[in-house]
Amino acid sequence: MKPVVLAGGTGSRLWPKSRAALPKQFLSLTSDKTMLQDTILRLPAEKMELPLFICNEDHRFLAAEQLRVADIDYDSIILEPVGRNTAPAIALAALRAVQQGEDPVLLILAADHLISDHNAFHAAVEKATLLAEQGKLVTFGVVPTEAHTGYGYIKSGDSVDEIGFKVAQFVEKPDLATAQQYLKSGEYYWNSGMFMFKASVYLRELSEHAPDIFAACTNAMQNTNKDMTFIRVDADEFAKCPDDSIDYAVMERTSDACMVPLDAGWNDVGSWTSLWETSQNKDTSGNVVIGDAILDGVTNSYINSEQRLIAVIGLDDVVVVETKDAVMVANKSKVQDIKNVVNKLKAEKRSEFEFHREVFRPWGSYDSIDNGRRYQVKRISVKPGEKLSVQMHHHRAEHWIVVSGTANVTVGEVTSLVTENESIYIPIGEIHALENPGKILLELIEVQSGSYLGEDDIVRFSDRYGRVEVKK
């Protein structure tokens, strides 16, 4: 069995923690591991082939680094040049499998789900495998615990080998009255968005029911470019692919759809309320507190502090989330409306839509600790052995002060070692590079000054991470 992990998406409903450049699947929200790491670590390793991951170009180094840190071996990471929903993403994985001369059973997983009962999950996977090996397309129907209006539903049909059920119907998110009827009937399950089938079976059904998707993905996989553990598909061909989910493109049209019930503490962690509901660490007043907070007369609330002290007084059913650059306060019943805030940030082209104050790069990270008119101050951390791109700026000069470690700095034609408590100046327009040649983390303070300090004022001449975009 080959796990396929879908690690796309932005997780905007969990803003301000989750942002476009660092979405929820790369955050530690339900354990000390990131959700991506947990997705693989909860699987029975002895029964699994090396997993395959699918994510977008911008998140490739995040995914690779998190897998490395967790010591997770994997097949490869397929990079989507543009988002086209789940049906095409899974098609790329299935084509990759058959191109390797195999026809494995694929276990399709989202990278941002919570499953608390691993044993029950393993048992459901075992049952699904029996059906998948018979040529069935299996989905996992979560046994509902309440009349939830935020999930799609699956209506169960006739029993299949006393393992699962035929899928009688897929149902969109219902209103409350309808959801209550579903719950009472015992015939309806939440749609988990997890699937299992043979690679060849999925491709056969996709070619029959969604030939445009099948053709576009096939063409995109015929001209791939392997870069380290990354697989880049043909961007032009993939861009022609229709945008569609596996539910609409295949599962609702095939005659071989089956469902295996799943009762394993599943949650899609789609909102801050979900995190409050699933937390095992509520205090006697029903509060979940993460970080530094003082509560007085507060009940049934979720408080998450990243850096500063949060004081909350006399409130019930609220969510308060603090990051280095934003504070979000909402009623628990209104957390779905966070997307309205995110859309406004995006429309106003504010950086808080996409980036945190601390931004992660393949070589390390930088934290924008101060800024004003014509200046900006950053704390830069460079991992041992890593190097930033050879670059220049049209509008800003830079002054670097090394705090710890040793920096190998090239300015123009001169290369020099800069150590703790030493500094170096990079004039406007000068080609330069920064490298950590040592064995410990390099930390430095960067002071930028100039008429324009945006991140897009970078002309790269060479880059070990494939980000060269020389401007003409």
Identity at 420, one-letter amino acid code: E
- Span 48-101, pLDDT tens digits: 999 999 999 889 999 999 999 999 999 999 999 999 999 999 999 999 999 888
Tell me the average pLDDT across 149-171.
95
Domain assignment present for 470: no
Q: What is the CATH number of the domain that holds 415?
A: 2.60.120.10
Q: Do 17 and 161 sit in the same domain of this protein? A: yes
pLDDT tens column, 261-293: 999 999 999 999 999 999 999 999 999 999 999
- Given pLDDT bands bounded at 50, 70 and 90, which one contains residue 469? low
Is a pLDDT exceeding 50 seen at residue 403?
yes
**Total tally of structural domains belonging to the chain:** 3
Beta pairing, strands 442-450 & 414-418: unpaired
Q: What is the pLDDT of residue 10?
A: 80
How many Å apart are CA 135 and CA 438, to the nearest integer? 54
**Are 190 and 229 members of one domain?**
yes
Answer whether residue 284 is part of any domain: yes
Do residues 299 and 395 both lie within one domain? no
Among 267, 294, 321, where does a domain finish? 267
Query: Does 116 reside within a domain?
Result: yes
For the whole model, what pTM was predicted?
0.89
Is residue 472's pLDDT more than 50?
no
pLDDT of 465 reads 82
d(CA 160, CA 259): 9
Residue 472 covered by a domain: no
Tell me, rounded to whole angstroms, the distance of Cα 311 from its chain centroid.
31
Tokens 């999930």: give the residue. Answer: 151
User: CATH number, domain at 200?
Assistant: 3.90.550.10
Domain finish residue from 221, 236, 267:
267
Mean pLDDT of 398-427: 97
Question: Band of the pLDDT at 464, cuts 50, 70, 90?
Answer: confident
Same domain? For 244 and 362 the reply is no
Q: How confident is the prediction for the chain on average, in pLDDT?
A: 95
For the chain, what is the largest distance between any 2 Cα atoms, rounded to a whole number of angstroms? 76
Residues 370, 283, single domain; the answer is no
Q: 267, 297, 321: which is the final residue of a domain?
A: 267
Core vs surface per residue 228-257: b (16+ CB within 10 A) or e: eebbbbbeebbeebeebbbbebbbeebebb
Residue 463: burial class (beta carbons within 10 Å; 0-12, 13-18, 19+): middle
Residue 352 domain flag: no
Domain co-membership, 133 together with 244: yes
Q: Do 20 and 126 belong to one domain?
A: yes
CA atoms of 251 and 80, how far apart (whole Å):
22
Q: Assess if residue 468 is contained within a domain.
A: no
pLDDT of residue 466: 75
Do 29 and 176 fall into the same domain? yes
| The pLDDT of residue 455 | 87
Q: Do 292 and 175 belong to one domain?
A: no
Contact 291, 171 (CB under 8 A): no
pLDDT by residue (tens digit) across 313-369? 999 999 999 999 999 999 999 999 999 999 999 999 998 999 999 988 889 999 999
pLDDT of 125 = 97
Confidence of residue 470 (pLDDT cuts 50, 70, 90): very low
Residue 229 included in any domain:
yes
The continuous run of DSSP H or E covering 396 comes out as strand 396-404
Is 344 inside any structural domain? Answer: no
Task: Give the pLDDT confidence of 116-139 residue by residue, as tens digits.
Answer: 999 999 999 999 999 999 999 999
* pLDDT at residue number 11: 82
Give the model's pLDDT for residue 151.
93
Q: List the alpha helices (DSSP H) in 171-233.
A: 176-185, 199-209, 211-221
Domain residues for the domain of 316 are 272-338
Tens of pLDDT, residues 179-202: 999 999 999 999 999 999 999 999
Q: Are residues 261 and 305 in the same domain?
A: no
Instruction: Give the whole-number percent of the chain exceeding pLDDT 70.
Output: 99
Residues 404 and 432 in one domain: yes
pLDDT higher for 417 or 226? 417
DSSP state of 274: H
* Residues 314 and 382 placed together within one structural domain of the fold: no
CA distance 38 to 24: 12
Cα torsion 13, 18, 23, 27 to 10°: value is: -120
- Chain-centroid distance of CA 468 in Å reads 24
User: Do residues 278 and 269 lie in contact, with contact meaning Cβ atoms separated by under 8 Å?
Assistant: yes
